Amino acid sequence: MDFEEFYAASYRRIVVAAAVTLGSLAEAEDVVQEAFERAHRHWPRIRGYEDPEGWVRRVTYNLSLNTLRRARRKATALTRLAGRVPGAELPPPPEVLDLHRALGRLPIHYRAVLTLRYLLDLPVQQIAQTLELPEETVKSQLARGRRRLKAELGEPTDGSAEVGLW
């Protein structure tokens, strides 16, 4: 498969997953473009990998972590600045779906495994390879992530109700 075919087949899926993880389509597109640009530079080597898309997902995940860290530092600095300027307030975040907000409140490692499993429908083994984690860790993060997400959404997590996301 040449790079253009690979890009066309994979781009949308990876952007959607990154957008859920990052909470922003624009940031996701930037991060995924950077990941694909890196893949393109090294395509002769990466095309021979068993899972080139997994490589791009991993690079996207690493870049997403960096983006979230920068955003957190910036928000902290703006909060400190707003506290020193009388009458200055940070604008509230735009209205988003409850699920999106709930996912945004989860730690990134839960968001990542939930997104890869339920949005991209990847098996546990492939998630483990993508995130460079043991399969048992992925399984426990999926279980904990589902519980935390249900709690964020106000759903019972004690098994007393059959209603749930997954």
User: CA-to-CA distance for 15 and 95, rounded, in angstroms?
Assistant: 21
Domains, the chain: 1-91 (1.10.1740), 95-155 (1.10.10.10)
Q: Is the dihedral of CA 57, 8, 117, 75 positive or negative?
A: positive
Give the whole-angstrom CA distance, residue 135 versus residue 133.
6
Averaged over successive runs of 10 residues, the pLDDT of the chain (166 residues) comes to 94 89 86 96 95 93 82 60 50 50 84 85 89 92 92 70 42
Residue-level pLDDT at 163 = 40
pLDDT at 6: 96
Sign of CA dihedral 150, 151, 157, 163: negative
Contact between residue 166 and residue 113 where contact means Cβ atoms under 8 Å apart: no
Tell me what pLDDT residue 77 has.
55
Residue 68, token pair as written in the block: 């979230």
And the tokens for 51?
């899972």
Tens digit of each residue's pLDDT (9 = 90 or more) over 81-129? 555 545 445 443 433 356 777 887 888 889 889 888 887 888 999 899 8
